[in-house]
Amino acid sequence: MANWSGCVYIFTEPRPMKPTLQKHLEYACGYLELKMYEDAVREADVVLAEEPNHAPAMAAKSAALWQANRLQEAEPCLAKLAELYPREPGLWINLAYIRRRTQSLDAAIETLQHAFTANPRDALAHFNMACYRAVQNRPAEALALLRAAVRLDPQLKKVARAEPDLTPLRELPEFLHLLG
């Protein structure tokens, strides 16, 4: 369960931007809201051509590529963001989501471990790892992780009921009791 809609991550830059670059960033975020993904990527790229590590532009570009289902292209940009902001668990969660779909489940699990380092109490990190363990047919680990996720964010019970990755757990009494 990852999601990246709009300019989800707002990063502050230590120094002011040139007004022309600020305008391109605003255009990128505007195009993103309008679901004009190609235009959003183009505008973010203008900023990144001059400032390659500009986090808000990388976030806008990653989000546009994600929403356009161009996950292979979003991966390096999101990986760079996660490298620059290693204490942001959401970046690692989203990167794990992409790597699961573009590389492998093992790559996703390895990536998701960084989210736990960033914040051991992140409910979505626990939830996503529970999904991965369920898919791997490791029900005891999956249930323990799901239990932790629900304890940290009780609203995840509703999400868990509908999550297809958790199908292998649906008939287990512990799963039914946890979500009951």
pLDDT digits (tens, 9 = 90+) for 65-85: 999 999 999 999 999 999 999
Mean pLDDT of the chain: 92
Q: What share of the chain is helix, strand, coil (3-state, %, to 5)?
A: 75, 0, 25
Domain housing 157: 87-180
- Are residue 143 and residue 80 in the same domain, yes or no? no
Residue 111 in any domain: the answer is: yes
- Are residue 36 and residue 54 in the same domain, yes or no? yes
- Are residue 99 and residue 65 in the same domain, yes or no? no
Lowest mean pLDDT across 15-24, 30-39, 42-51, 84-93: 15-24
- Do residues 99 and 91 make contact, with C-beta atoms less than 8 angstroms apart? no
Q: What percent of the chain has pLDDT over 70?
A: 92
Q: Say what the alpha-carbon torsion angle 92, 97, 99, 105 is, to the nearest 10 degrees.
A: 110
pLDDT tens, residue by residue, 74-115: 999 999 999 999 999 999 999 999 999 999 999 999 999 999
Return the amino acid letter for 32.
L
**32/43 Cα distance (integer angstroms):** 10
Please count the residues of the chain. 180
Which residue bears the tokens 């999904």?
A: 131
Q: What percent of the chain has pLDDT over 90?
A: 88
The CATH number that applies at residue 140 is: 1.25.40.10
- Are residue 77 and residue 158 in the same domain, yes or no? no
* Last residue in a domain, options 51, 85, 119: 85
Residue 37 in any domain: the answer is: yes
- Are residue 164 and residue 152 in the same domain, yes or no? yes
- Are residue 118 and residue 164 in the same domain, yes or no? yes
Each as own residue / partner, the long-range contacts of residues 64-68 (CB below 8 Å, 24 or more positions apart, any chain) are 64/28, 64/31, 64/32, 64/37, 64/38, 64/40, 65/37, 65/41, 66/4, 66/94, 66/98, 67/4, 67/5, 67/32, 67/35, 67/37, 68/37, 68/38, 68/41
Tokens representing 144? 């323990």
Q: Residue 134 pLDDT > 60, yes or no? A: yes
Residue 11 in any domain: the answer is: no
Residue 4 in any domain: the answer is: no
Residue 115 in any domain: the answer is: yes
- Are residue 110 and residue 143 in the same domain, yes or no? yes
Task: Please state the domain count of the chain.
Answer: 2
Query: What's the pLDDT score for residue 16?
Result: 77
- Are residue 177 and residue 97 in the same domain, yes or no? yes
- Are residue 81 and residue 93 in the same domain, yes or no? no
**55/72 Cα distance (integer angstroms):** 19
Residue 69: CB atoms within 10 A of its CB come to: 11
- Are residue 92 and residue 180 in the same domain, yes or no? yes
- Are residue 121 and residue 74 in the same domain, yes or no? no
- Are residue 39 and residue 91 in the same domain, yes or no? no
* Last residue in a domain, options 85, 115, 131: 85
Residue 101 in any domain: the answer is: yes
17 band by pLDDT with thresholds 50, 70 and 90? confident
